[in-house]
Structure formats: structure tokens, C-alpha cells
Structure 1
């Protein structure tokens, strides 16, 4: 479903809904309408939206189901849908919900309504725990254990829908009454709904307004009247023209690379019901993703709203993946919670001051001006969503949820009409029983730049971490960054780093780049972090361990995530060149590729995902 290109939507704060209670019902004064039209809102939502779209039957059939909703409101429809999903969907099925809201409730109001409706279950708790700040754009929420996601779009419906890719199987046309909310019930919105609808997509709505019926018919829906709920006489339901597509196909997808990008890609596809195979001669986390101490840290910009969209979406995606994988495997990779950025250099001070002047609300609500360790008078930003973690441990946890990684070295890729054939070493291992429907290239630092033309733009950088024992301050277990970063491991111990040294792309004949640790890089790490009490005097610092790795990067330091030019049939995909920001962008890019490959609603607006396009100009 190709989006209609329109100007980028600013990453701006939104006006939240003002909730009042009238006669025991939540009411929106701005729209002069109640959130519910019945004394039994659960029964009304079930009849008008869930039954009208025959969701229990469709859920029981399995496969992938995508639901779109205009008017998230209190989240009632989403939570009731999840209840039906958990009750009826078989193993291996996947649910994607897209819901739009121009004026979101505050988190406190949302929780109050859920308590009032007796909806304080695990899905409500997951929704509230991941509820986004009132910032325009798309925000993804994961429901652990359900194989279900919610993409919550905040802002006006028409411009948001115009920037969304993905197909919808069933619509909840909710929202306040057409007479009081014309911005949601108009031809511009209905045209976008039709563009996103799969053939045979159904809809249900409480309204029976004649203009709504005529507008839906004009964009291709067959509309019929149905008895209204309770005292309401009529409502509308119907379906989009065409034959319903098969949502039960299980594409075979090969992922080349078992670092965080490859494993996150395989994990996202596996969750969506695909058959996946992962290939890496070094095994899971055997390359740069074997880092024992990495930092999840956003990179907001005082003026670049699209970059702020990416940073916020990346932080949320990685944190959701960490939560989900910990629940599934019991492995918790997090070493330290919270990251404080200190302006210890002239450049760092200017960066902090510019972001503070722009305001957290205009830069993705990613930082707090206060909080975190206090080490001196320099300006600081505190990122409560940031963390330090053992990246190798995250890779181990992801690999446990997938088929075993195959340690064959992939040396080539052959395109045929039947599918994609991997060429591997040793030669006797080349024979796969079936060709692959798709291939995701998720490594570029081991001679694989011959696979896709876009990889010729990739260079490499090396980085080294140093584990030390020193008289470090007690900063409450939080990560300190400025020049370099310091991840505490306990009293008197920390990982510090990391160096950033440009290197040559490995020769295709080499199995792996040289990652021999250097004593001089230990010294560089100490010099960069001499501003931290306890690290300024090398005589007081004992080196305990070293780790070094090589990462791929392109000129603008954003990853390449999208279809490769090599195959016009869009069967080869890239999730590469994350550089030092693999934790920030790799899980998000994995979700983007999985959804695009399967035609599901994507986690980024089209203008924002364009920043990751492998065909973007890099000069």
C-alpha cells in the first residue's frame, strides 16, 4: 500500500484530552460528546466493532490480521480485541492494530477509565507501561506473550493516514459523532482508509449518518444498515471491494548475519509467522554484537524532527524488545538503568544547551533536564529510557527464541524465478531443500559487500571497551556519558569506552576482521573519561578485561534499512550499517522490514522511514 507523499509531520507536542465524568460516563467537553454511547460500553463495542467484523471467527482461522481504528479514545476497543485474540487465535497467528487519536488522554486518566471499566488486566498494564508521550507521530506498543502489537498514531487522522504504509483487514470507525468531529468523518480520511484497505476489508461503526454512508460508498465500500445497540436505532457496517487475500502464507526468509540486526530481524519475522533461517559463521553475537557493555542512548536534534521521530521510535522499539525477550527467556541483558549526558567538552555543552532551548516536548520528550548522577557544574541531560546492557547476552536471548543459527559462511546469492539460492562454504553445504522467498542481509563487515550494490557505500570503524577497577563514585547504578561512557558493574568496577577508529573494509577472502585489543586504546578510554572522579589518575585504575569489535557505517551514520536495488522484485532486504547506534536502530529497522515484507502497518511514517532508505543520497 503505497502512501501518498505529504510533508513530514513535526515531532511536536499535542493537546491532551480534557476528561470529565458525567453521570458515571467519561465525557470530552471539546467535542461535547461522551466516550461511550451506552451504559454497557463493553457490550456496545463488542457488537459494533468485534462482531460486525466477525473477528472471533477470523482470529480462530489464524494467520496475520491487521485492524485499523479511527479514534483510540480510552483504548476500550483495543483491549476487548486483545481479549478475543487471546481467546481464539491459534499459535503462530499475529495481530497488528493501527489506531489513531488526535487528543490522547493523559496516562492517569487512561488508568482511571480502565479501572472504571474493570479492564485492569495484563494487556491494560502493558498498554499503560508503554503509553507514549503526547507527541505527534507513530508509537508502537508490544503486548508480551500475545503475538500482538499496537501502532498508536497521535495527530490528525488525514495527514497521518497519508504517511502510513501497510494493509488493513478490518476497520473500527470510531470517534465522536460526525456532527461534533468532522475532522474524522470526511472524504480525505475515507480515501486514505480505502487506500490502506485490503480487498474484502470489513468495517463497523456506531454511526448511521447518511453522509458517512455515501462517502464510504464513493471510495469503494459496500455499506449496509444494521440494528443499533441499545436505544440507538441503526448503525453501519460493510466491506471493501475485491477478494480477501490469503493471510496464511508463511514466507521462507533467510537472514545473513547473527548480530543484533540479524537476530532482531529474524525474531520479528518469526513472531509474524514466517519460517526463518539465520546464517553466520561466528554464531549468535559472534561479531561486533558480542559487545559485553553497550549503551542505549538516543540522539535527539534541536531542529531535525524526523531524526527525533527515529530516536523516539528506536528507544521505544529496543525497550519493548528487551522487555519481551526477558519475559520469554528469563535472560535480562540490562546492566544499568538511566543515562546521564554531561557536557564536558565545548561541543557537548553546546549540544546540551541547544536541546534545552528547543525543549524536551519539541525533541521527542526523550530527556529530562534534571536527574541522573551529579558530577559537577557542567550542563547535563538525563535520559530515563537509556540503559547500559550486555549486547552479547541480548543476542543469546534472541537466538534462544529462534531456530539454531547455521554457521555456514554465505559467499553469494543467486536470483531465480523460483526464489533465492544461497551459496555457501563449505561447498558441500550449498544444497538447501527449497529456495528462499526473501533474504535479509544484516551484516556488511565480513566481505558481503559483493552481495548488494548498496553495500559498496559501507565503511567500517573499530571500537574497544575496557573493564576497570577504580575508586569510582556511587551514581546509583546509572550510566555516565560525555566524552566516552562509563557503565557501572558494581562497587568499584565499570566498563568504559569506546574508541572510534576508522578501518578498512575486510577483504572478501577474510573470514573476519582483525579485532585484536590494543593497550593504547585502553589509554584512550581513560583519557576520554578522565572527567569522572576515580578515572583521572591512571595509577589508581586496574585494567581487568578488554573487548574490541568492528562495525559497519555509512556517511550520515544512519542505517540502511529497506529493499536492495539488486532485485527489482523486492526479495532482498538490508538491515546494515548501524555503526555505534545498533542498539538504537537495529530492532526498529527489524520491525520496519518485517512489516514491509508482509504488508502490515509499519512503525514509522513514510517520510521518517525514508531517512533509512538504502537508496537515499549519502553525499
Structure 2
């Protein structure tokens, strides 16, 4: 779905929607109206007080200018404790542009700090889920750009209160649909409240039909009536289409043990620790990020498909999440650089694909644009041989430095051990180590790359390794100083710590762990095709090149494996009918998982864009928070998918 920003007419300093011919907020007293209609009608202050040690989820239809969020977040800061978190979820089909949102937020200087945070992380006009985190205040805003009913149909959450905002049913009838009301009911629980400014019959009947007790009360100011109510029960329960992807019901743990100290493990540790969970991170090597996460620099960008795919959505969501995260945690750019990334079209086929991608207008120009070789050379600061795509918000990251930052946080302790076996007894996991010790944990997350299937519980995971070698050399003072990351058949980043890092080889069969001169020559050959002057400088020192070899951990579908660990034998028994009929409807079938055992691996060469968002996903699963990715994307990376595929293909 292509996202178009709202066309706004500013009348008397108040935004007015040209599309819906309606105002965004009451120009006379918008704050008081929002407080009365949404916060007071949903009894938000008592709700926060009653959940002082839990996650509270508020959901909204129509983000608009963000006023309801600002008021709720402000109230949260007055009532919350250090043990609680606020999850605010909103949707917008025609989001305000960044400049219009900035102008709108200037109306309320009392929320200056919160407004600044929103503007810093405000997403590009791209369909999908977008996370804005304010960790110091324990607040997360999940913005969904797209149709309201469709967006909420992809959400996994338990909502405590609904703000049914947006333009009036007479102005925006498409939003107030039976499909939306069904999704609101699906995401509610007994006692969930709602309020809305409208008293329209279509809204009253729609909410009653899906299980809400609906009543009228006095509206704000001159408005005669509005609707409020409480969810009682869903009278039209939604059948579970794919029970094998249903997630186990969690309870937030006090502590979690993670096996593996690369990007996957370290980002998962941080995501859990920020939720108040104590984390023990087990790494068998003497330092973190010694495997595939240990290169000096990695390119931070997403290779976008022409037409949106599930994999493309994961990669783009992860990229945008990682960029926001890095801007927040390292504004000085000490271990990353938002210098831009060029994806060169080194063949006619790739150039045609890139032209098609731009012509489809699936992605906003602020994210990616097509530029000539001359334009790219101006940006890069050196000669470039091909046209290509340019991603101005992309760049490079030092993975090891990022891992060090992740674990430098309260509640995280790093232990050097090698775990050889897992067993479960009396409600706890026993981790047998190579040194003969046995560690105990209530919850375990397996993040040790290609070794994730070494355990009996996960030996069915189809992991594979892909050998890669990068070349490293000193950046000498010449007229050719690279200013941007350049990707062709390989990649090279601007110099960091007076060194260039470039490569990398992609060897599906290789097992050699040593650095080889043949791979150096291969990396130099790739460089010569795209950056002739940089290549000339580096080739002169080819005999002095240093390097590093590592093995990427990948999967057959090149998607990571993230989620609860399935019990393979039980899955085969429960869903055996799929061998005969892939569309079989399973009534009351339950997916069996190993208790409190999770997996996060298989990120391949995309770890910088998939590990942080996957860590947030896992931490949300474990702590029973709203999930930051759409359900179909979560299903696509579920560890159980390989068992189901084999059943359908009758290979198991």
C-alpha cells in the first residue's frame, strides 16, 4: 500500500484536513476536549495507578497531530512507577508530513520534550509498523501507517483502553467499519474500555455487535452526546487460521539466560534488560562478537524488492528501527555513521530492476532515489562507475562496538562458558557447560548462530553457514577519500579508525577459517569494477592487506528464526493432517512449545537490520507486551515454519 501524506490547510494556525474536510482538533480548547473525551472517559489515571508494576496498552484510531498521545504520556509520567511501561498504539492512513507535524506540535509548548522525541523518530511515509521508543520514560509508541482495520488485523496485543478518534463517521465512513469493530473486539479483554467523540448509530451498533456494553454520556462543550463503554465478551470469535503459529501465553519473568554473545544475543539482552528483566548472557569466547558479528564495519541498509514482500517488509522495518535506535543511543556517531549507502547497478538486469523500483513509487523519495554515476561520484567524493540507488539515511555500523554498548547496562551480566546441553526439570532449565558446571534458568533464549541447533530441543532447525572474508587496510592520505558506503557485488565503507574494510566473499561451500590471499584478490576485483580510484590506491598495498574470516548463519528461506521453540514430535502428531490436506481446519488444536525456551538466529548478513527488531519482538513475546511487527511477518520467522513446510511437502 502506498502511503500519501495528508494535505493540510492551516486555518488560523489550526490544521484542517482537505481530504476529509474536517479539523484535527478543537482550535478553541483542543487539550480540554481530548482530556474529557478520551483520558477521563477511559479513567486513565486510575488505570495507571492500578497497573503500577505492569505494561499498560492504550490503542487509538487516528494519530493525527499526536495530541492524545502527548496527553496520555504526560499523565503517565505523573502516575507511573519504575516497574511499569506504557505501550501506545495508533494508526494513520494519511499521516501528517514531518513539517506539518512539527507545526502542529508547536501549538503545545508544554509538551516540548515529548514532541521533540516524536519528531526525532517520526517515520517516513511508508506503510507498516513503526516503533518510537522513549526508554528513559518507559514509553513506546507503535505507529501503524495504513488502513485502520487492515493494520489492526495484523497486530498482536492486549488493549486496556481504546481512543476511537479520527474524523467523524459522516466525513470518514470507510474507517468506521464492521471489520474495524471486529478487530477492536479481538484485541480487547473483559474490562477493556473505549470512548469516542461521536454518538453515531453506526458506531454504537457496531461496537455492541462485537461485545461492548455501549452507553451515551454528555459530550464536551456544546456537543450533546458521546459514546463510552466496556468490553464484555466477543460474540463473534475469530477462528484461528494457522494454529501452529499461535504463541504460548507468557508471564513476564524476573530473569532470563541468553546463550550467545553476538548481535542477536546482545540486542536481546538489552531489550529484556530495558524491561526490568535480569539477564545472564553466556558467551563461550573471551570477548563478545567474535563470530559473524565481529567485522570492523558492516553496511546498514536494506535491499528493497520492487513489489513488497514479507521478507522485504521485515528488512525495511528492521532497517528503519535500527536507524532510529542508533540515532537515539549514539547521537555523536562514535560507532556508526549515517553517511548514506549506494547500491550500484552493476548489470543491465539490476539497472532495469532499480528503474522499475523507482517507477512503482512504493517507497518514499526520502528513503531511496535513483542517481547517475556522476551524481553518486559527487556524493562519494571519488569516481563511481555505475548508476544506482542512494539511501541517504543509511550508513555503516561497528557491530562489536554496538554489542559492547548493548551489554553496558544494568541488569546484564556476561558469563564466559560453553553450554553443551539443555534439559528441563521441575520448572527450570538446566544448562550443562563444558567446564562441568550446571547453570539453572527459568527462561532461555538460544542466540548462538549456527550452533543453535546443537541442542536436542532445536536439532530440527535447518541452519547453514556461508563463509565470508573481509579485507582490511590502512587508509592513506590521498585525493580519494570515500564519503559514503558503496555496495556492488561487495561493499566498502568510509575509513574508520584510519582503516578501510571491504569485501566480502560469499562462499557457500568454504570451510577455511584462515584469511587467504585469493579472497583478498577477489575483494579487490569487486572493488575495481565500481570504484576505480579507490581500488588503485588499495591495490598498491595488496600484499599488506589484513583480513577477517567469519561464517554467516543462514536458513533455507533466508529469513531469521525468531520465536518460541516448538516440540517437533508434538507438532508432527498434532498437525499430521497437513500431509493430506494443507487447508485442513484444526479445531482446538494447540501448538506445543518447550516451556520458556526461545530462539533468535539465522540472520545471515542482515544482522544489523534484523537483530535489533527481532530482539524487541522476542522481549515483547517473553514479557507479554504488544508485538512490534505484523502477525504475518512474525509467522514468517516462526521457528515452527520448517516443520509445517515439511508436513505439507510430506518429507517428514
Using the size of structure 2 for normalisation, the TM-score is 0.83
Secondary structure, counterpart of 2:106 in structure 1 = helix
Cα distance change of structure 1 residues 606 and 363 upon mapping to structure 2, 3 Å threshold: farther
Equivalent residue number for residue 129 of structure 2: 138
Q: Which of these residues, 101, 108, 114, is aligned with residue 99 of structure 2? A: 108
Secondary structure, counterpart of 2:339 in structure 1 = strand
How far has the Cα of 1:479 moved from its partner?
1.0
Secondary structure, counterpart of 2:169 in structure 1 = coil
Q: Which of these residues, 319, 322, 338, is aligned with residue 323 of structure 2? A: 319
In structure 2, what is the Cα distance between the partners aligned to 1:268 and 1:550? 25
Secondary structure, counterpart of 1:113 in structure 2 = helix
Equivalent residue number for residue 199 of structure 2: 208
Equivalent residue number for residue 484 of structure 1: 490
Aligned residues of 2:159 and 2:192 also touching (Cα < 8 A): yes
Equivalent residue number for residue 344 of structure 2: 342
Cα distance change of structure 1 residues 399 and 491 upon mapping to structure 2, 3 Å threshold: closer
In the alignment, is residue 65 of structure 1 matched against residue 59 of structure 2? no
Cα distance change of structure 1 residues 421 and 50 upon mapping to structure 2, 3 Å threshold: farther
Equivalent residue number for residue 562 of structure 1: 563
Of 346-355 and 581-590, deviating more is 346-355
Output one character per residue of 1:192-250: Cα deviation in whole Å (capped at 9) or x when no partner.
101011332222222233442333233222233333222223323232237xxx99944
In the alignment, is residue 523 of structure 1 matched against residue 524 of structure 2? no
How far has the Cα of 1:288 moved from its partner?
2.1
Secondary structure, counterpart of 1:86 in structure 2 = helix
Secondary structure, counterpart of 1:397 in structure 2 = helix
Aligned residues of 1:63 and 1:249 also touching (Cα < 8 A): no
Equivalent residue number for residue 231 of structure 2: 240
In structure 1, what is the Cα distance between the partners aligned to 2:224 and 2:630? 39
Cα distance change of structure 1 residues 331 and 337 upon mapping to structure 2, 3 Å threshold: closer
In structure 2, what is the Cα distance between the partners aligned to 1:303 and 1:269? 34
Q: Which of these residues, 495, 504, 511, is aligned with residue 498 of structure 1? A: 504
Secondary structure, counterpart of 1:313 in structure 2 = helix
Runs of 5+ unmatched residues, structure 1:
1-11, 506-513
In structure 2, what is the Cα distance between the partners aligned to 1:591 and 1:490? 29
How far has the Cα of 1:399 moved from its partner?
0.8
Aligned residues of 2:470 and 2:505 also touching (Cα < 8 A): yes
Aligned residues of 1:67 and 1:169 also touching (Cα < 8 A): yes
Aligned residues of 1:70 and 1:101 also touching (Cα < 8 A): yes
Q: Which of these residues, 266, 271, 276, is aligned with residue 273 of structure 1? A: 276
Equivalent residue number for residue 11 of structure 2: 22
In the alignment, is residue 411 of structure 1 matched against residue 420 of structure 2? yes
Aligned residues of 1:67 and 1:96 also touching (Cα < 8 A): yes
Secondary structure, counterpart of 1:337 in structure 2 = coil
Q: Which of these residues, 372, 375, 381, is aligned with residue 389 of structure 2? A: 381
In the alignment, is residue 199 of structure 1 matched against residue 190 of structure 2? yes
In the alignment, is residue 55 of structure 1 matched against residue 44 of structure 2? yes
In structure 1, what is the Cα distance between the partners aligned to 2:355 and 2:481? 23
How far has the Cα of 1:460 moved from its partner?
0.8
Cα distance change of structure 1 residues 65 and 451 upon mapping to structure 2, 3 Å threshold: farther
Equivalent residue number for residue 466 of structure 2: 461
How many pairs are equivalent?
A: 591
Cα distance change of structure 1 residues 175 and 546 upon mapping to structure 2, 3 Å threshold: same
Aligned residues of 1:325 and 1:331 also touching (Cα < 8 A): no
Of 50-59 and 257-266, deviating more is 50-59
Aligned residues of 1:566 and 1:572 also touching (Cα < 8 A): no
Secondary structure, counterpart of 1:264 in structure 2 = helix
Equivalent residue number for residue 238 of structure 2: none
Aligned residues of 1:312 and 1:366 also touching (Cα < 8 A): no
How far has the Cα of 1:251 moved from its partner?
4.8
Aligned residues of 1:466 and 1:543 also touching (Cα < 8 A): no
How far has the Cα of 1:164 moved from its partner?
1.5
Q: Which of these residues, 351, 354, 362, is aligned with residue 352 of structure 1? A: 354
Q: Which of these residues, 29, 33, 37, is aligned with residue 44 of structure 1? A: 33
In structure 1, what is the Cα distance between the partners aligned to 2:124 and 2:61? 19
Pairwise CA RMSD: 2.9
Cα distance change of structure 1 residues 152 and 350 upon mapping to structure 2, 3 Å threshold: same
Of 466-475 and 587-596, deviating more is 466-475
In structure 2, what is the Cα distance between the partners aligned to 1:454 and 1:37? 60
Secondary structure, counterpart of 2:413 in structure 1 = coil
Equivalent residue number for residue 310 of structure 1: 314
In the alignment, is residue 264 of structure 1 matched against residue 267 of structure 2? yes
Cα distance change of structure 1 residues 254 and 294 upon mapping to structure 2, 3 Å threshold: same
Runs of 5+ unmatched residues, structure 2:
234-248, 569-591
